[in-house]
Amino acid sequence: MRIVWLNGEWVPADEARISVFDRGLLFGQSVYEVTPVVGGRITNWPYHAARLANSLATANIADDTDWPTVLVELIKRNEMDEGRAYLQVTAGSAGDRDFLRPESRPTPNRIASVQPVALIDNPKAETGLRIVLRPDMRWRLRAAKTTQLLYAVILKEEAKLAGVDDAWMVEDGVITEATSQNAHIIDARGVLVSHPVDHGVLPGITRISVMTIAREIGLAVEERPFTPGELFESREAFVSAAGSLVLPVVEVEGRLIGDGMPGKVTRAIRQSYIARLRA
């Protein structure tokens, strides 16, 4: 039985309870973070902390939890070596359903849990992902990592029904990102192209390292939107996220990307990133 942390207490996962009037449940007024766990340690925490602060401000939630201490103990109690550590902060419960909170704001609900999963030996790193393109249905506050993820649920289910791994989203003729990852290509010129971090996409933590590694290995980098046409003509494509690290994309809408195998640049970036996490 996994142990979770709920509002300062350590409890078995199946015993954790919050109110049915929690504002995260009723209104999606809730934010979260996920950090990779490698070798029993959380990684990239300063970046996650900065994004969490932005998300909390956007959702108008106050929280001063010492999350690194909580997550370190959470990993220890669950004896987890590799996987994902999640935290979530909701706007709490005022005891009834009302769009407006009372002047005395309810106490936030704070939750932390772990999910053991193979990040380093993910088989998709060798076979690559197959994806489809779908219209971007998300709202405009994408830079905050809120728990309003209905669009991701719907599109991931559509991708499964289509017999592929995931979907990339298209808006106004350009790719924004994947359902839960940032999207990148190595274009026909050999340049790494990635949507700029703005309100159109989530500021991915793994993306920060991807951009740094790309420049360190001598790649030209352009942070700009790219079109489906550029994606189809690209040499390589890949995704980056805390929950999956760096994974190649080998097929889009039934068309092979490059030779239909994980590309050497994607492999190099993934290997370098894993080395950074282990260090």
Q: How confident is the model at residue 143 (pLDDT cuts 50, 70, 90)?
A: confident
pTM: 0.87
Same domain, 142 and 243: yes
Q: How many domains does the chain have?
A: 2
Domain termination site, one of 97, 116, 135: 116
| Domain containing residue 104 | 3-116
Residues 6 or more apart whose CB falls under 8 angstroms from that of 149 comprise 180
Same domain, 46 and 137: no
- pLDDT value of residue 272: 98
Q: What is the pLDDT of residues 3-58, one digit of tens each?
A: 999 999 999 999 999 999 999 999 999 999 999 999 999 999 999 999 999 999 98
Q: How confident is the model at residue 67 (pLDDT cuts 50, 70, 90)?
A: very high
What is the C-alpha separation between 159 and 167, in angstroms, rounded? Answer: 6
Same domain, 273 and 140: yes
- pLDDT value of residue 14: 96
- pLDDT value of residue 101: 87
Please report, for the domain that includes residue 23, its CATH number: 3.30.470.10
Cβ(204)–Cβ(273) below 8 Å: no
What is the C-alpha separation between 13 and 124, in angstroms, rounded? Answer: 29
Same domain, 231 and 131: yes
